[in-house]
């Protein structure tokens, strides 16, 4: 789940409280008990309708909140195939789920490799869940650099041993490229102005921290133009994160390929948290509907108001799902 909340915006606070300085150490995710409330849990369980003995694939296991309940429904004779490209998340989920199910397989990989992994295991799925984006534990860990509310290194990588951190990307790209990222991945109205601020600022000294990026946004977006319901840096952080993780690249095709791993009558559910993710989910499901799948509902399901009150990070969630009609195209 971005602000990067898991793609849900955070409420606006007075400018002087926008950033809390990080106290290194005990706040780091590895050292605390990370928490994440699974979004639309009841709806996901109802939609996936997991029965005892099912093969359940969780492509985004996170802290294992959804998986725990899906695994309980699959029972001791069920199978869980779990993916997360964040090693720390996968390790937490493994600990949480170790008492459940007989057969469990763990992949610290991009969920785009689900088809190959299932083929290797000789399995097809009864239920597949993709709960896209980040979870609260990742957002709330200042050392990951996903949060505009806490100062930390401007990193945003999923695997911190690989790839280019956000700071290096923003210090390297041309103005037009940064603008495209902010517009394409964040639908940011002030993409040009923010990109210009970033380029101006890095001439003085390279961007290093989340605070550096938040300051660029605050200088670029006029106070009168800000939406009082969300932090002005929400869209920028979401966009930069998508550029760093490349999480939208090939997503639509990946969802189609993953859907084809279902057994007849199997179901796939996708939870999206911003327009870029939901567009991919919607298009993938429309494509699957042309080849032997049924969209379970044409319009996405949304969280109940009570859930949004309890867990504001759920408020941008959209749930879509398909069922493979018995004997569909292989």
Give contact residues for ligand SAM (rule: CB under 6 A): 1, 6, 36, 38, 60, 62-66, 83-86, 89, 110-111, 131, 133-135, 158, 247
- β-partners of residue 103 are 79
Q: In angstroms, what is the minimal distance from the CB of 175 to ligand SAM?
A: 29
Distance CA 307, CA 311 (A): 6
Phi, psi of 152 (to 5 degrees): -165, 180
Q: In angstroms, what is the minimal distance from the CB of 83 to ligand SAM?
A: 5
63/218 with CB nearer ligand SAM: 63
18/139 with CB nearer ligand SAM: 139
CB 210 within 8 A of CB 152: yes
CB 171 within 8 A of CB 311: no
63/285 with CB nearer ligand SAM: 63
Q: Read off the tokens for 233.
A: 């840096």
CB 50 within 8 A of CB 268: no
Q: In angstroms, what is the minimal distance from the CB of 258 to ligand SAM?
A: 11
Residue 205: half-sphere exposure toward Cβ, Cα within 13 Å? 3
Distance CA 157, CA 160 (A): 5
Q: Residue written as tokens 């029965």?
A: 51
6/9 with CB nearer ligand SAM: 6
211/267 with CB nearer ligand SAM: 267
Q: In angstroms, what is the minimal distance from the CB of 194 to ligand SAM?
A: 25
1/194 with CB nearer ligand SAM: 1
Q: In angstroms, what is the minimal distance from the CB of 168 to ligand SAM?
A: 21
- 12, burial (CB in 10 Å: exposed 0-12, middle 13-18, buried 19+): middle
Q: In angstroms, what is the minimal distance from the CB of 308 to ligand SAM?
A: 16
* End-to-end Cα separation, the chain, in angstroms: 33
Give the three-state DSSP class for 313.
helix
10/171 with CB nearer ligand SAM: 10
Q: In angstroms, what is the minimal distance from the CB of 244 to ligand SAM?
A: 12
> What is 91-124 written as a DSSP string?
HHHHHHHTTS-SEEEEE-S-GGGHHHHHHHHT--
């Amino acid at each position: 789940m971005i602000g990067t909340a898991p793609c849900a915006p955070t409420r606006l606070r007075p400018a002087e409280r926008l950033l809390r300085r990080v106290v290194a150490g005990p706040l780091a995710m590895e050292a605390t008990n990370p928490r994440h409330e699974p979004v639309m849990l009841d709806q996901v369980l109802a939609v996936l309708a997991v029965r005892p003995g099912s093969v359940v694939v969780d492509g985004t296991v996170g802290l294992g909140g959804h998986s725990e309940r899906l695994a309980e429904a699959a029972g001791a004779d069920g199978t869980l195939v779990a993916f997360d490209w964040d090693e720390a998340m996968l390790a937490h989920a493994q600990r949480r789920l170790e008492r459940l199910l007989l057969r469990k397989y763990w992949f610290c990989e991009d969920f785009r490799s689900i088809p190959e992994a299932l083929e290797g295991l000789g399995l097809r799925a009864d239920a597949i869940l993709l709960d896209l984006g980040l979870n609260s534990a990742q957002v709330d860990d200042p050392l990951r650099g996903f949060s505009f509310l806490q100062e930390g290194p401007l990193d945003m990588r999923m695997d911190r041993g690989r790839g280019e951190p956000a700071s290096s990307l923003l210090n390297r790209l041309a103005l037009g490229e940064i603008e495209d990222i902010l517009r394409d991945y964040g639908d940011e109205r002030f993409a040009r102005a923010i990109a210009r601020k970033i380029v101006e600022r890095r001439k003085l000294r390279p961007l290093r921290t989340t605070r550096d990026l938040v300051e660029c946004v605050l200088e670029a977006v006029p106070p009168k133009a800000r939406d009082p319901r969300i932090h002005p840096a929400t869209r920028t952080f979401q966009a930069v994160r998508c550029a760093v993780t490349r999480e939208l690249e090939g997503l639509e095709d990946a969802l189609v390929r993953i859907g084809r791993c279902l057994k007849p009558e199997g179901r796939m559910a996708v939870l999206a948290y911003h327009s870029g993710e939901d567009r991919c989910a919607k298009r993938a499901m429309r494509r699957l509907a042309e080849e032997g799948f049924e969209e379970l509902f044409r319009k996405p399901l949304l969280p109940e108001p009570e859930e949004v009150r309890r867990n504001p990070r759920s408020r941008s969630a959209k749930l879509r799902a398909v069922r493979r009609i018995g004997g569909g195209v292989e």
